[in-house]
Structure 1
Amino acid sequence: MSFPPENLPAVPVELIQDMKSFLRIDHGEDDDAMKQFLRSAAHLCENFIGQMLITQSVCDRMPVGAEWQKLKRRPVQAISLVEAVAPDGATTALPSSDYAIDIDGDGTGWVKVHAARGITRIAVTYHAGLAVDWAAVPTALRQGVVRLAGYLYSHRDGMDAAGPPSAVTALWRPHRRMRLA
């Protein structure tokens, strides 16, 4: 599963400063480029670990099924709204008696509609993410993002056969959530 990179919150100045310190850069000429490399690295981190870094509101639209359905993003902090989606796209909140929700210990969110009554699609709004902001992201993940962004920045003009530093995956691997298909 891939998380859209546009869903990442803005990169704070402190994270850019961390990258500058890592690269031993003391000018601000490349701040915009560094910001883009940090966003790319954070996007790659989310896809590698299978979890969103920063908590935010997410809405999944899915067909109604008779079984429990898994939400796309993790870790789910709270499921706030389940709505019926009409063919024209209009939404109507379902009464809580018409569905069940659950969040596993690993942060996987689930929803099940009890009585479909002609409903074919639902929209589920929930909050998912590991941390409330970049400062609260686990240190190993944050360091991996900075290291990968630094690598991308320093190798932007040429190819490097060695690839990204293995330290990045070593920092991220303990946070990785595997899914078997």
Structure 2
Amino acid sequence: MALPLFMSGGAMVLVREEAGAPGASLGELKDYLRITGDGEDALLEALLLSATGLCEQFVGQWLMIGEARETVRADGGWQRLTARPVIAVLGVDAVTPDGEAEALPVEDYAVDIDAAGDGWVRVHLAGERRVAAVRYRAGLAEEPDGLPGAIRQGIVRLAAEHFAARGGDMPSPPAVVSALWRPWRRMRLA
């Protein structure tokens, strides 16, 4: 499999292997909106996915557990993985300049997951291989019911606000939504 190397400036490339799942159920949103029919289901599901994505951006964490593939420099230094919280590192591949990947034996790299859920990897490769691809799993919960109630409620309320504002302007998420999500917010300082 050919993998992307570095974007301009040597930045790491993160790929989410599968689309993120909504952080709340369609039933929760329909109950909140008091909708009994199924004529709006496709729109409501899209709004839930959008609200989930905004929540992930706000809290700085993946909500639903999923697999990621991220390229990192293979220069021997510790590097923090982008997605969090990391729950497992599945493997590390050496990537050649033409993008071909080859699995590395476990003794050729080191990984760590710290108490905050940040994943770290250290790979040292000689020669033309200066990039490694790390495969890992990250996220807070397998199912929406595993997420804290306040996160789910914020997703439902934001999706409901977007549903109510169809065709109109909604300048920013309601303050109550950010108040519900703020306890789970994790930011990184540059």
**Residues 3, 53 of structure 1: CA spacing in aligned structure 2 closer, same or farther, 3 A cutoff?**
farther
Deviates more, 1:140-149 or 1:85-94: 85-94
Q: Shift of the alpha carbon at 1:160?
A: 4.3
Query: Equivalences for 1:118-133 in 2 at 5 Å?
Result: 118=127, 119-133=129-143
In 1, are the aligned partners of 2:74 and 2:131 still within 8 Å (CA)?
yes
Aligned to 1:31: 41
For the 8 Å contact 2:15–2:70, the answer to whether it is kept is no
Tell me the distance in 1 between the aligned counterparts of 2:25 and 2:47.
11
RMSD of aligned C-alpha atoms?
1.9
| Stretches of structure 1 lacking an aligned partner (at least 5 in a row) | none
Match of 2:11 in 1: none
1:46-125 to structure 2, matched below 5 A, reads 46-113=56-123, 115-118=124-127, 119-125=129-135
Letter of the structure 1 residue corresponding to residue 182 of structure 2: R
User: Are 1:3 and 1:43, in contact at CA under 8 Å, matched by a contact in 2?
Assistant: no
Name the counterpart of 1:171: 180
Moved over 6 A (4+): none
Instruction: State how many pairs are aligned.
Output: 175
How far has the Cα of 1:164 moved from its partner?
A: 2.5
Residue 58 of structure 1: how far off its partner (Å)? 0.8
Which letter does structure 2 place at the counterpart of 1:21? D
Identity of aligned residues (%): 43
**Aligned match of 1:8:** 20
Per-residue deviation at 1:146?
0.5
Question: C-alpha separation between the residues in 1 aligned to 2:61 and 2:167?
Answer: 31
Distance 2:121 2:152 in 1: 31
Quote the Cα distance in structure 1 between the aligned partners of 2:88 and 2:143. 17
Alignment of 1:16-27 (within 5 A): 16-27=26-37
Is 2:63–2:147's contact at 8 Å kept on the other side of the alignment?
A: yes
The alpha-carbon deviation at position 3 of structure 1 amounts to 8.8
CA gap of 1:51–1:146, structure 2 versus 1, over 3 A, is same
Residues 1:147 and 2:157 are matched in the alignment: yes
Measure the CA separation in 2 of the matches of 1:3 and 1:168: 28
Query: Residue 15 of structure 2 contacts residue 69 of structure 2 at CA under 8 Å; is this kept in 1?
Result: no
Offset at 1:59?
A: 0.6
User: Where do 5+ consecutive residues of structure 2 fail to align?
Assistant: 1-13
Q: Distance in 2 between matches of 1:72 and 1:149?
A: 26
